[in-house]
């Protein structure tokens, strides 16, 4: 979701769209080995996609366009746009102009970035349709994801997986996560920056008693794992063929805010996951994934997009007085950001 209101005048320019006023101008000199620098650049490129779609709806082009500084400041150029069936811009492929000079410094040659939901007349119906598909674990069936996945595969084939970044915010983060999972299961992990990825869980999360909540989560997980065992029977694939094993080598960067109900459940997800490690069953997580898939949305091949065995989870510890601020993309390039990063690696 993005900070826009249907009732706004389409001609009004938000201060947040102007890079010189709201962008990470403090990064005049980029250190590609610096995690905060890389994060800020990935988030800025996602913001560029948001502004491109805003300007398409307002028919604001040429010298009046506010989008280019969001990538040109970091010496990227717009390679091509990703356009959905409704004509809306949902993604972009950026190319780093000076990759040949910075290739040994963790700089990407290409970045594939996806925006989230925009609450504007020109995109709201399609974006809400995709939000619903995401909630029902059917996002992988959408034309938007198919277009995104094909674009990602084409860029990886062109440049190689180590030279490509994935980035997305909110709904765009869900699309990037699915695309990254698909590549990882083929043994091709992509460096990925997933801002406020949606993980909408059951009403169990409103329970205040942590021991009771953990017990319910654990019991639910055991049921899912047991169901997977019962249904799969003697058709277990070998470990070498199991896509969950290949997926475990992928370490996407997840960025969440505890005050954002759309993504904050990832904190509990990894706490629960860590609590189950050490039980002597490395196979348990694969069974849990299979059980969740079978208990998921309509259709036996529906896959909960949040099920990832490994990640580097970054939690925003700064105060967020409103949902818009807690869910917004701008928080992630704040030079005064207080955060905590935790590595959660499948074992």
More confident residue, 290 or 347: 347
Assign 166 a pLDDT band (cuts: 50, 70, 90). very high
**Contact at 8 Å (CB) between 316 and 338?**
yes
CA distance 87 to 130: 15
- Asked whether residue 165 carries a pLDDT value surpassing 50, the answer given is yes
Nearest to residue 108, comparing CAs of 210, 177, 33?
A: 33
Q: Is residue 136 part of a domain?
A: yes
Q: 297: helix, coil or strand?
A: coil
Q: Is residue 226 part of a domain?
A: no
Sheet holding 191-195, edge to edge: 76-83, 89-96, 110-114, 164-169, 191-195, 253-256, 311-316, 339-344
If you average pLDDT over residues 251-273, what whole number do you get? 92
- Asked whether residue 124 carries a pLDDT value surpassing 60, the answer given is yes
Q: What is the pTM of this model?
A: 0.83
Q: Is residue 211 part of a domain?
A: no
Q: Is residue 240 part of a domain?
A: no
| CATH code: domain of residue 94 | 3.40.50
Task: Please give the pLDDT value at position 206.
Answer: 43
Q: Is residue 225 part of a domain?
A: no
Residues 6 or more apart in contact with residue 96 via CB below 8 angstroms: 74, 75, 76, 102, 107, 108, 109, 110, 111
Handedness of CA 2, 95, 305, 226 (dihedral sign): negative
Residue 155 belongs to what domain range? 15-206+245-279+305-344
Nearest to residue 196, comparing CAs of 310, 117, 251?
A: 117
Residue identified by tokens 């040429």 is 62
If you average pLDDT over residues 57-64, what whole number do you get? 89
Write the burial class of residue 292 (CB in 10 Å: 0-12 exposed, 13-18 middle, 19+ buried). buried
Task: Please give the pLDDT value at position 249.
Answer: 87
If you average pLDDT over residues 212-228, what whole number do you get? 45
Q: Is residue 60 part of a domain?
A: yes
- Asked whether residue 202 carries a pLDDT value surpassing 50, the answer given is no
- Asked whether residue 8 carries a pLDDT value surpassing 50, the answer given is no
Q: Is residue 249 part of a domain?
A: yes
Residue identified by tokens 């277009």 is 147
CA distance 286 to 318: 35
Tokens of 118: 């925009």
CA distance 283 to 288: 9
CA distance 118 to 328: 12
**Contact at 8 Å (CB) between 75 and 51?**
no
Q: What is the DSSP string of 40-106?
A: HHHHHHHHHHHHHHHHHHHT--GGG--STHHHHTTTEEEEEEEE-TTS-EEEEEEEETTHHHHGGGT
Q: Is residue 338 part of a domain?
A: yes
Q: What's the number of domains the chain is made of? A: 1
How many separate helices (H) and strands (E) can be counted in the chain?
A: 12, 8
């Amino acid at each position: 979701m993005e900070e826009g209101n249907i009732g706004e005048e389409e001609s009004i320019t938000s201060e947040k769209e102007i890079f010189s006023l709201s962008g990470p101008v403090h990064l005049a000199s980029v250190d590609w080995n610096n995690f905060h620098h890389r994060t800020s650049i990935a988030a800025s490129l996602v913001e560029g996609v948001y502004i491109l779609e805003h300007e398409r709806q307002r028919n604001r082009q040429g010298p009046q366009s506010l989008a280019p500084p969001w990538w040109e400041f970091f010496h990227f150029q717009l390679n091509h746009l990703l356009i959905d069936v409704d004509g809306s811009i949902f993604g972009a492929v950026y190319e780093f102009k000076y990759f040949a000079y910075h290739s040994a410094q963790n700089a990407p040659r290409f970045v594939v970035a996806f925006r989230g939901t925009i609450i504007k007349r020109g995109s709201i119906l399609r974006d809400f349709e995709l939000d619903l598909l995401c909630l029902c674990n059917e996002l992988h069936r959408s034309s938007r994801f198919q277009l995104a996945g094909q674009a990602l595969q084409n860029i990886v084939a062109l440049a190689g997986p180590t030279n490509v970044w994935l980035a997305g915010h909110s709904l765009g983060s869900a699309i990037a996560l699915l695309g990254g999972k698909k590549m990882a299961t083929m043994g091709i992990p992509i460096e990925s920056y997933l801002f406020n990825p949606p993980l909408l869980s059951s009403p169990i999360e409103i329970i205040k008693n942590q021991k009771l909540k953990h017990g319910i989560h654990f019991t639910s997980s055991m049921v899912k794992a047991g169901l997977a065992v019962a249904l799969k029977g003697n058709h277990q694939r070998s470990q070498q063929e199991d896509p969950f094993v290949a997926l475990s080598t992928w370490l996407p960067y997840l960025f969440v805010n505890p005050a954002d109900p759309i993504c904050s459940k990832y904190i509990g997800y990894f706490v629960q996951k860590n609590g189950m490690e050490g039980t002597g069953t490395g196979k348990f997580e694969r069974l849990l994934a299979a059980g969740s898939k079978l208990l998921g949305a309509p259709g036996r091949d529906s896959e909960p997009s949040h099920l990832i065995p490994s990640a580097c989870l970054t939690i925003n510890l700064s105060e967020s007085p409103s949902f818009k601020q807690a869910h917004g993309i701008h928080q992630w390039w704040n030079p005064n950001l207080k955060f905590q990063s935790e590595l959660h690696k499948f074992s």
